[in-house]
Structure 1
């Protein structure tokens, strides 16, 4: 059996190359924006491994129960580094509307017009300072939006009552808000957390699903990519951890990505046969 170090050698080589290239390789705005989004803090937003696991379409092979354990992250990822247009890095307060401008305006109680005013920038920047999002320059990016949605959901979990209330456990996945939680009857057994679903062309499938196979140390044999705490519910789509920042400009390739800590907690909540209900659409997908 090959060790995880030898299996990850090509991946680490790619990572080293990206580090050498600097922020150019960090992230690109959806739609080929000539002013791409990059981490607003040097060294932020980088992953130990590829952050996306392509949807395998077909279920994984089930003869890999043993094997080499998937390694734990070597250090915690800073989830609070915001992505900014490259031209806005170093600005005191951005004049450009963020990619989630309207959503952040709504969540912060600002006039919802999708335009960045001086008042908007001050209010968004104040929220970022309070929540320790950096840099606090008033840009309504993916990290600011994700944090605002999570805080709102903690106060009002399911305002549209989209999550079915059943006597059995249901993992509820809200693609519109990029949130998930688990409930059984009226009791929430897994508190709401941020997640990341499929990008354009790799949509996370909506509707009812069932957790049909779980593999704590799963490694994609097709794409040679780690999928810690994988819980498959639809073909190759699964809940699983990623080794990198979760709130990014792009989505996954079909799976429901979670932070390593949240994926580990979900592993102890769900069981084979539990139901999953997914609705909505990832913004921009």
Structure 2
């Protein structure tokens, strides 16, 4: 999200020692409401989607490439948790795209900077890989925390790439643009910040530009980073 406005709360001072946290909890389900304010009473489709086999395998279902009532129920549950619309249990490209991204994130393991794209000569730095939608904190070449899944800017509101620095921290920022609270906000590029969101970080199509994070990850970033720390953003978000 973008935009800077009034704040509440006090920012803690100092830096605590970070720990490495992998993507073991990547697929933890979230309880979410789908639709514009109320749950949708969509019907469960009987149609077989183009990614039926891939989706069945991801969900641990029997892989036969044929839609069943049980398949549809499992697919709908996934779609509802991650705000994929319409949530009718169809194994289409959007649903598989989210699952495929989760698989790629999990495959990164504990070496997110294997390709050496994020600078190792800056000391403490927060890295953001837009292509894989992950972020981590490193100190030189040492991984301090992550990688963790993030949700960056959608098409038309892309998170800008390049070298940045954290210039403003607000522990409970209020966005006048989106009319929402942005807990643990750490701004590093205009109105772009790391901050917590209370919905799935895998929900398409993306943020308004900010790097959305799960609560525990945003809170940990708050404890590890400080004003003046480096941020490096690279890659390209799928679909932008």
TM-score greater than 0.5 by the shorter chain: yes
Aligned counterparts, 1:75-224, within 5 A: 78-79=29-30, 89=44, 94-97=48-51, 118=53, 120-126=54-60, 134-135=77-78, 139=91, 140-224=95-179
Q: Matches of residues 48-67 of structure 1 in structure 2 within 5 Å?
A: 53=1, 55-56=2-3, 60=4, 64=6, 66=8
Answer yes or no: is the 8 Å Cα contact 1:204–1:255 preserved in 2.
yes
**Residues 1:272 and 1:126: Cα distance change in structure 2 (over 3 Å):** same
1:166 to partner: Cα distance: 2.0
Q: Which protein, 1 or 2, shows the higher relative CO under an 8 Å CA cutoff with sep ≥ 6?
A: 2
Secondary structure (helix, strand or coil) at the match of 1:262 reads: helix
Q: Which runs of 5+ in 2 are unaligned?
A: 12-27, 35-40, 64-73, 80-88
**1:239 offset after TM fit, Å?**
0.4
Task: Give CA-to-partner distance per residue, 1:256-277, whole Å, 9 cap, x none.
Answer: 0001221111111111100000
**C-alpha contact (below 8 Å) 1:80/1:143 kept by paired residues:** no
Could you say if the C-alpha distance between residues 265 and 128 of structure 1 is closer, same or farther in structure 2, counting changes exceeding 3 Å?
farther
Structure 1 residues 227 and 122 mapped into 2: Cα distance closer, same or farther (>3 Å)?
closer
The equivalent residue for 2:86 is none
Match of 1:36 in 2: none
| Cα distance, 1:161 vs structure 2 | 2.0
CA distance in 1, matches of 2:196, 2:114: 27
Where is the helix percentage greater, Structure 1 or Structure 2? Answer: 1
The 1:126/1:162 distance shift into structure 2, 3 A limit, reads: same
TM-score, length-normalised on structure 1?
Answer: 0.58
How many angstroms apart in 2 are the aligned matches of 1:66 and 1:264? 16
- Counterparts of 2:180 and 2:231, CA distance in 1: 24
1:126 is paired with a residue whose SS is coil
Aligned residues: 194
In the alignment, is the contact (CA less than 8 A) between 2:174 and 2:182 conserved in 1? yes
Pairwise CA RMSD:
3.5
Q: Say which of 164, 180, 189 aligns to 1:234.
A: 189
- Pair 1:256 & 2:211 matched: yes
Alpha-carbon separation, structure 2, partners of 1:78 and 1:177: 20
The alpha-carbon distance between structure 1 residues 147 and 88, as it changes in their structure 2 partners (threshold 3 A), is farther
- The corresponding residue for 1:269 is 224
CA distance in 2, matches of 1:281, 1:152: 18
2:236 alignment counterpart: 281
Deviations 1:109-156 (A, max 9, x none): xxxxxxx6x4x4553343899xx9855989453542343123111154
Deviations 1:235-266 (A, max 9, x none): 10000011212111210010000012211111
